[in-house]
Amino acid sequence: MIKKLLLFILINVFLLSYANADDEIGMTHEFGLSIPIYYQYQEPDFMYLEGDIKEEPLQSYGLTYNFKNAFLFGGYLNELEFDASWQDFNWDYWSDTSAHEGTGGEIINARILYGLQASDKMMIKTGFGYRYLDHQWAGKLAGTYDREQRNKYIPFIVELNTPIAGIDGKLKIEYDHMMYGHMKTASVGATKEGSMRNDDGFMWKTSYKFPYAGFYLEPYYEFMSLEDSNWDWDSCSCREPRNTTQEYGIKFTKKLGEDASSVVADNKRLLQPDVVNDFGDKFSFGIEYFLAELDTGVYGLTGTATLDEEDHGFSILSDFKINDFVSLEAGFTNFGQAVLKANSGDTYKTDGRENQGTNSAGSTVSISSNNYRQTYDSYSGSLALKPKFDLGTGLFVNADLGIHRWFQSEVYKFVASGGTTTMFSYAGWNKFYGIGASIKKGDFEVSVNYKDYDMYYDAEIIGASLKYNF
């Protein structure tokens, strides 16, 4: 009910603002082609759908369309935007028990957005979005099925005009909150279809768009995480497990019309220069690559059992400088994967957290099948205050004090016994902290950092980051 009310309010805000516009300014149409470089759908340690341009050049592609109508309302620059895309994919499927090449599908994404100019360089947007996935592969591999996935979501977007080396560009950072999810499955000859609801999840997207030779180029990265669906006991006695999707690629577009930002110079801003010196001058964006160690609580391994709690991961970071001493940093983090491997007769001990606390602390767990595999995957979205102290000559020391929304999956799999799998998911809000040092040269900043994250399974990372200061 709350989600429907929120959607109703958003739609009415859009329509009322547009209907009462002081003046229409400009209209643009943008058409383009999208080329996914890499795509992966993953049900952790169970199955993968993967497409790679290096392996299958130009087998996946898409079309994009964007419409914007700018207008003044109350002296402020507003934008009403419609954005749509269609993508055709060629995926390869694999799991621990089977594999198949050449399965395919399509993804349709459409949304209506409302934008408000916040400063000379920043526009904020929200609205309503719809994502549809059609995966057709029933009959291509034994036991497979066609599936349709529908998601409705509310996007929250920040767009920043951020020139690099004198070339105008636009950085887009987006968080999408899922408000509805539905999965439908059907195998060949099936008389009943599986139907499952999954309303818990999010999408995180970033891209950078810049002009080139009369066109626009836009490298992009997208990540989607969905939690376990409900069980469909009536049709298939099944559910859709927790899954993630990530994609990166590039878009090539052509714009017809003139951007409102180039037409209007004297309209009002939410953040005036005398209140906040140009937002863009306080903003940086970058990526961090690190070694992560996850505390699984597993110890006392015997026999052939091995445990690797370390893996490489990455963070995508955006930083806003509040003043000379403190900044606000938002980030998305992929911690990688911890893996336990064992065979029949091996044992290990646990601190009581695993398997949702099924085994008490200090108890011994015995493995009853060969090729046993236990994995832990972790993701996080974070917000932190970042105090920074200048030591002179471009050298800084810093700290991180923040909160993060984390998601973890725990998978138990007996590969040799036909792929028997048990999955658990955890999520929550917790604190994290860190320390680091950085060197700034021109517009670039290189840092080394240590961070400690509280989660169901805690994690520590040590890594290096590269940021560009706009």
* Mean pLDDT, range 312-341, rounded to an integer: 90
Q: What is the pLDDT of residues 34-53, one digit of tens each?
A: 999 988 888 866 677 877 76
**116-125, 190-199, 302-311, 315-324: segment of lowest average pLDDT:** 190-199
Rounded mean pLDDT, 166-188:
83
Q: What is the pLDDT of residue 442?
A: 80
Strands (DSSP E) along 227-371, which ranges? 243-257, 283-294, 298-299, 306-308, 310-321, 326-342, 347-350, 364-366
- Span 279-469: which CATH code? 2.40.160.20
How far from chain centre, in Å, is Cα 216?
23
Residue 278: the pLDDT is 47
Q: Do the Cβ atoms of 441 and 428 come closer than 8 Å?
A: no
* Sign, CA torsion 186/187/192/194: negative
More confident residue, 38 or 101: 38
Task: Please determine, for residue 280, whether its predicted confidence score (pLDDT) is greater than 70.
Answer: no
276 — pLDDT class (breaks 50, 70, 90): very low
Q: Is the pLDDT reported for residue 8 higher than 70?
A: no
Locus of tokens 């341009």: 53
pLDDT tens per residue across span 283-313: 788 899 999 999 999 999 999 999 999 999 9
Q: Where are the domains of the chain?
A: 2-263, 279-469
Q: Tell me what the mean pLDDT of segment 102-121 comes to.
A: 86
215 in Cβ contact with 252 (< 8 Å): yes
Regarding predicted confidence, which is higher, 138 or 422? 422
* Confidence (pLDDT) at 260: 59
Question: In sequence order, which residues have a C-beta less than 8 Å from that of residue 154 and are 6 or more positions away?
Answer: 6, 7, 10, 126, 127, 128, 129, 176, 177, 179
Mean pLDDT of 422-449: 89
- Range among 13-17, 90-94, 108-112, 255-259 with highest mean pLDDT value: 108-112
Domain 2-263: give its CATH code.
Answer: 2.40.128.100
